[in-house]
Amino acid sequence: MSLSSLPAALILLLLSSNTLAQLSSIPSIDFPRLGSVDIAGTLSTGLSLFSRDNVTLNPAASTLFSTSSGALSPIGTTEDAGQIYAACELDSKVYVAGAFSQLGGTTAQNIISYDPSSSTFTALPNGGLNGAVNALYCDSSNHLLWVGGNFTLPTPAVVVYATSNSSWVPAPFNGLSGQVLSITPSASSQSLYFAGSFITAFQSNNTNSTFGNNPNVPYSAGATPYSSSLVPIPLAGADLNAAPVTTQTGFTDIANILCPAGPDGEGNTWLAQDGSNAQITVQIFRNEGVSGVRLGNTFVQGRGTTSFTVTTLPNNQVLPLSYVDPVTNTTQNCTATCPLLTNSSIPYQDFIFSSTPSVTITGFQVTLNSWTGAGAGLHLLQLLSEGSFASFVPSLDTASCFSPGPTTVTQSGTWQELNVTTDTAGTVQPVLQATFPTGTAPTSSPSLDLSVYVSAVGYYTVYFVTPGCTQMQDCDLRTTVQASISPGNGVAPVTQEIDQRVTSDTVSTIYRGPIYPSTPSFSIPVSLRLSDTPAGQGSNGNYDIVADQVQFVLTAAPNGTYESVVGEGVPGYNLTTSFGIARGFGIFEWSLNGATANATGTLANGTETAVDGAGGAMYAGILGVSNTAFSGGSMSSFGSNAITALAVGNDNQLFIGGSFSLAAIGAHNIAMWNGTALVALPSGGMSGLVSAMVVDQSAGYLYVGGSFAGLQSGSSSGYGGIALYDINKNQWSSMGGGVSGPVTDLAFDNGELIVVGNFTGVASNTESNLASSAGTTTAGLAAWSTSSQSWVSSPIGSVVGNMTFASSDSEFFAGNIQLLVTPSSVRSYLSEALVIIISIVIGAGSVLLLFLIGVLSALWLRRSEETPHLLAEKDADDGSSIDHHPSMLLEHVQAATRATIIGEGAFAAASGKRQSTEASREHAGDSSLETEEVPGEADVDGPFEDDGRVAHTRYSFEAASDGELDIRAGAQVMVLNDRDASWWLVRDVETGREGIIPASYLL
């Protein structure tokens, strides 16, 4: 607003003789060039620019923010590389989830609770969950927290936390076979929609399954499909000790129960001394990743163990265990004392370590605490792996119990076995090493081929372990290798390059997906050889490559109540072929009032809902086959497909977003389910991943965010990262040109759409693509007015960094933020200034102060009409002109104020030292959060620092005159000269270019 827009009466008053006398000493001010200016302060010493509070944060970590105070306020930070993906409020607590090991200084694995009343974080039972948590849903009616992610316990992918008794509850449908990425309530909130990357199966009238597991593994109702698929670790070479022991012949050798050769009885059972507690100690003297223990009770002579305790070595910890109660078919937990059934129909029970992360031990101890009959005893004792495993050292590959034979190793070239010291005191790990000339062709270099025993069909993550070069003292010799795996059943082999130039032991992922062990050996081929283009120079003309072990970590083992029983009572798994089973991908509906079921296997006929039908259509559309004619070989195609977001329309349409392509209907990354069929949206959908969707029910608009540059076909202009779909008109609309990077989440807040992600600004309506850097600067967080359909200033603050999460109620946000700028209340400052002005008018009788009221009003209206980046607009006037530097208005207003109030000359203090008072700032959260001095408050007459100091640009600035510097928002600069209050000389750290920019543009 310019001076001409002030009320006429006020202008006339200002032009009175008394006023003109005062105005004669005030310089000319070009009001249209002022942009947005905040005014506050103590008027006896002039006015000072209003400043926002700046908080520096650790961008390597993820910070959780609350908006309960009306603006972003940090309340906790993870460790470096930690991530926060979800949060919701239930029963006065906030539950926060992601992939982290601590938040706010409290150790917790991937999920934690926060109490706003005491500002404290608390870990959930068992310390959390053993995998990343991607989604939360707070069911306030039933006081339940639904948790979805990529974990396996207590139930895979989905688990429930009951706030009433602070305990984990298995999902009533036994979880899902894969990963859950989002949880969305239905329109009625009577059911939940789970989305992600998983397979569902529903029985039809004729089921015929083929068996895919080792039939030598005995079936037990005391085990789950997951635990029964875990390969036991061979313990024949371990140090075994059991005491006190019975004196009865044939029952004293503890080794007999590691893999019994026959039924419970003499030569296959161990008995403790009558009426005594007993301890069984197993020491393997090497690090092993384990999942739990398997115990089979004895029934000889009416004996049997009724309770026990497991202690891990070498740290002597009693860890919590989870197990299935075969009587109630529910998951139970125990710690110090765990029950063992004395039911002869249950040959064994599996007890899984429920603590996180996965357990690595060198041994364990089982204490038999109580018994029935004359004393305690066992028929079976096994240590369960994380899935399967193999060593490249042949001497370590002994046969596992129930396996057809040991893992075999085939060597090509010369290999030597070395013992390497591990991180665990007193233990060494045998590894292989091969040394050869650097000019050796990859086809002629030393290589290793494994045939790894895998007990069961399932979904696995396969890792290679590379010993660190520091311990082996061969860092200069190291290079790169290729690791290959053939998953089986027609799935194409996968090859991954591994860089062995690592100083410490390193675990590398080479495959994640379905594994189909071949019969009758139940094995998977794995190989290690020199890379086609070896890295590094070697040493003395030689390379070396090393080999340790390969690990198969089981993430899901499909099975179902209605599967046919094949061979020795073991349930058959349906990963290979099936007939009469309807399958789905990525979408599953569960009624909150539903009966228990098993969604990791085949669900009962008639339980499939219309939304489950959408999953079936996605399954068929992605694979290009009927969802009732499943082909095992096509399962690998799901590796790059996922459903990441669901949204429900006004007429119960289900909008499906993610990463997928449905060739039959021409839909890409987004589609609509109308209750009976999938429908493509206009232009074929989006050109990249859709990560977030929300529906404005009143307007009938679907807002879509993600990592896309535009629409799949046709013009992409203005659709970068975000778009609006009019449901009623079936058409796309641009949102002010889009944003300059990926959008990760969306949420509504008081009529505004809050957009978060990894972008640096919102584009103008003329923007044509995602990469454009023009438009309004706003890093990581932006706001869109749903009423005016335009970008507006964020009501909760601004950031430098990227945001990963926004809760649906806009109460919580998270991201990797370098700098937080929180808006203070301009209205409160303005009110205080007006009170002071009026008081001075009464006391001094000066009419000039009415002029200042007009200025304040104009500036306030101007602030609401224009965006902050207009502050730096300049004309081509000479650099010494007052109009050329509008930020110098502050000094002129100060001078005029002093002249009127305390009688100083208009510019008496122009060369004096500027007085500044640092505002008190308070921030909740970690003690690591630091309040940063605003550059505009610096001592303008301070000494010039030759080395400069580091600052960051709040806005982008385009040079209009010689000597000015083009700079982007968020750039790091070195301040070289800050003697001028308005324009500072800086150097762009990235480019090395120097020039002046407005001081108000710096943080």
pLDDT for 972: 87
Higher pLDDT among residues 1003 and 442, named by residue: 442
Q: Are 656 and 673 in contact (CB under 8 A)?
A: yes
Q: Are strands 191-203 and 602-603 parallel, antiparallel or unpaired?
A: parallel
User: What is the DSSP-derived secondary structure letter of residue 572?
Assistant: P
User: What is the DSSP-derived secondary structure letter of residue 539?
Assistant: B
End-to-end alpha-carbon separation of the chain, Å? 27
Q: How many CB atoms lie within 10 A of CB 302?
A: 10
Higher pLDDT among residues 808 and 81, named by residue: 81
pLDDT band at 684 (very low <50, low <70, confident <90, very high): very high
User: What is the DSSP-derived secondary structure letter of residue 935?
Assistant: G
The stretch 282-303 carries a mean pLDDT of: 89
The stretch 776-797 carries a mean pLDDT of: 79
Q: Rounded distance, CA 125 to CA 168, Å?
A: 7
Q: Rounded distance, CA 630 to CA 622, Å?
A: 12
Helices then strands (H, E): number in the chain?
A: 8, 64
pLDDT for 887: 40
Q: What residues does each domain of the chain span?
A: 61-171+804-823, 177-209+561-680, 231-385, 407-453+468-511+518-550, 681-762, 949-1001
Q: In CATH, what class is 949-1001?
A: mainly beta
Tokens 């003309």 map to which residue? 541
Q: Which residues contact 107 (CB under 8 A, 6 or more apart)?
A: 101, 123, 127
Higher pLDDT among residues 93 and 15, named by residue: 93
Q: How many CB atoms lie within 10 A of CB 217?
A: 21
Higher pLDDT among residues 869 and 749, named by residue: 749
Q: Which of 452, 464, 453, 350 is nearest to 402 (CA)?
A: 453
Q: Rounded distance, CA 830 to CA 552, Å?
A: 65
pLDDT for 855: 60
Higher pLDDT among residues 102 and 574, named by residue: 102
Which residues partner with 56 through β-bridges? 819, 930
Q: Which residues contact 90 (CB under 8 A, 6 or more apart)?
A: 138, 139, 140, 143, 145, 163
Q: How many CB atoms lie within 10 A of CB 322?
A: 24
Structure token pair of residue 796: 């909760």
Q: Are 198 and 588 in contact (CB under 8 A)?
A: yes
Residue type at position 818: Q
> Burial level of 460, CB count in 10 A (0-12/13-18/19+)?
buried
287 has pLDDT over 90: no
The stretch 673-689 carries a mean pLDDT of: 91
Tokens 């409160």 map to which residue? 828
Q: Packing angle between helix 826-844 and helix 848-865, nearest 10 degrees? A: 170
Q: Rounded distance, CA 643 to CA 669, Å?
A: 9
pLDDT in tens, 886-941: 444 444 444 444 444 444 433 333 333 333 333 333 333 343 334 344 343 334 33
pLDDT in tens, 170-196: 999 989 988 999 999 998 889 999 999
Which residues partner with 246 through β-bridges? none
pLDDT for 853: 66
> Burial level of 909, CB count in 10 A (0-12/13-18/19+)?
middle
Which residues partner with 191 through β-bridges? 591
Phi, psi of 885 (to 5 degrees): -125, 80
pLDDT in tens, 467-518: 999 989 999 999 999 999 998 877 889 999 999 999 988 999 999 888 888 7
Element containing residue 225 per DSSP (H, E): helix 225-228
pLDDT for 491: 82
836 has pLDDT over 60: no
pLDDT for 700: 92
Higher pLDDT among residues 655 and 904, named by residue: 655
CATH fit for domain 231-385, picks 3.30.110.40, 2.60.120.260, 1.10.1040.10, 3.40.30.10: 2.60.120.260
Instruction: Of 557-571, 708-722, 742-756, give the lowest mean pLDDT range.
Output: 557-571
pLDDT for 219: 76
Region label for 804, one of left (φ > 0), alpha (ψ between -120 and 50) or beta (otherwise): alpha
pTM over 0.85: no
Q: Are 525 and 440 in contact (CB under 8 A)?
A: no
Which residues partner with 705 through β-bridges? 692, 722
> Burial level of 464, CB count in 10 A (0-12/13-18/19+)?
buried
pLDDT in tens, 9-45: 444 333 444 443 443 434 444 444 444 444 434 343 3
User: What is the DSSP-derived secondary structure letter of residue 705?
Assistant: E
pLDDT band at 456 (very low <50, low <70, confident <90, very high): confident
3 state SS for 434-480:
EEEECCCCHHHCCEEEEEEECCECEEEEEEEEECCHHHHCCHHHCCE
Q: Rounded distance, CA 990 to CA 534, Å?
A: 33
Q: Rounded distance, CA 869 to CA 778, Å?
A: 10
Coil vs helix vs strand at 833: helix
Structure token pair of residue 348: 């064994």
Residue type at position 909: A
Structure token pair of residue 535: 């890295």
Q: What angle do CA 508, 512, 518 make, to 5 degrees?
A: 110
Q: Rounded distance, CA 65 to CA 822, Å?
A: 12
Edge-first strand order for the sheet with 972-977 is: 949-952, 972-977, 983-988, 994-998
Structure token pair of residue 10: 């006020």
